[in-house]
Amino acid sequence: MKQPFRLSSFGIAVVCIAMAHSSFAQQPGGVPDFDAPVRIEANGKPIDVTTGHAAPYVYDFDGDGTRDLLVGEFGSGTFKGEVHMDLSHSWCKGRLRIYRNHGTDKAPVFRDFEYFKGGGKIAGVPITCCVSFVPQFVDYDNDGTDDVLSASYPGDMYWWKGLGDGAYGKATRLMREDGKVLIPFKHMPERHWKKWGKTSDVHSTTAELHDMDADGDLDLWIGSRLSGAYTIENVGTRKAPKWSTDCKPVNDSAGKQVGGWSTGGSNIHWADWDGDGTSDVIYGGEDGCVRYCHNSGSENKPVLDPPVVFIPEMDREYQFSKRTEPSRNESRCKVHVVDWDGDGLNDLLVGDFGSTYKRVQTLTPEQIKEKKA
């Protein structure tokens, strides 16, 4: 079966699956032959996070042996927590939905959702534009229990300690080795130093942990909407991470930065796409494109080949069409790799931000008065 593909839109943030149906799709550098995108449903209707920027993730959240679906969202309400930027305006609370699987791994059934909680309260990250709560379930502190990691719009990164039995602690911000808040940044060209300074913070961020230098600990890999992908080295240990004061761009083997304005990079996701035992990089883009960088290095010291297009960007005709339903994923897509249907081939889950068109009647002043009466 081909891989499913998920999408979202303005007012709707939907998750789609794109499925691959041939072994060629799993070969290094091979371009998958995807089926048409299929929208994932809950309660018989397409999942719609309504505020945009859906971020899908498959994980056995409740430990019952069956994988569940988690979907990050732009969110609503006011974020109340630690953030390094000006708090004179309200930050939106990006949240994470949990759709428990009432079916099987091969035939999942989703119903109502609940929100992920940390410290007994609905967890959130600060959002103001262009991104959402984008989760990674990973054992951050090497204690044998998975934790949750997410970045945010202003660049602050947070983790929630797994306490077992589906419980998680309060959010903890990641800090640099010098005691300052960990914020990804890019080094500016010298010609911009006078106006912008030597560095500039990176916004609309996502984060995943993966070893980059074969030293046995996990390092940070950061995606961003416009500035490309970056790494921050763990200069501590696997059990007690400490984060470097430096932030370096992720370059492919041709020397070009992965992601960025020209090729997108809404999130950077590690997964062994081709089944060769080494994790590769899949990343979504601002323009709806999904790209793949085969890892020709090792699992813990990756070398990324130049990107191959898995899902093409939206063409202008589609972007400006008056569509009532999406027929593909749209912009700022967040990707997750999983064998959705158990056929032995990896499939691609994609969440996005998009728009649909609905004709509504404009009421006359008399009709408005009548309606209010």
pLDDT in tens, 281-307: 999 888 888 999 999 999 999 999 999
pLDDT of 8 over the 50 cut: no
Q: Name the 3-class secondary structure at 190.
A: helix
Question: Average pLDDT for residues 228-235, to the nearest whole number?
Answer: 95
pLDDT of 4 over the 50 cut: no
| pTM given for the model | 0.87
pLDDT in tens, 90-125: 799 999 999 999 999 999 999 999 999 999 999 999
Question: Average pLDDT for residues 220-238, to the nearest whole number?
Answer: 93
- 154-163, 241-250, 340-349: the lowest-pLDDT one: 340-349
Q: Decide: 17 and 340 in contact? Cβ < 8 Å.
A: yes
pLDDT of 234 over the 90 cut: yes
Domains and CATH numbers, the chain: 3-372 (2.115.10)
DSSP 296-319: -SBTTB--BPPPEEEEPPPPHHHH
Nearest Cα to Cα of residue 85 among 187, 188, 206, 202: 202
As a whole number, the mean pLDDT across the chain is 86
Question: Average pLDDT for residues 213-237, to the nearest whole number?
Answer: 93
For CA atoms 114, 120, 122, 124, give the dihedral sign: negative
- Reported confidence tier of residue 2, pLDDT bands at 50, 70, 90: very low
- Reported confidence tier of residue 17, pLDDT bands at 50, 70, 90: low
CA 209, 213, 217 angle in degrees (round to 5)?
50
DSSP 2-50: PEEE---BTTB--EEEEEB-SGGGGSTTPPP-BPPPEE-EETTEE---S
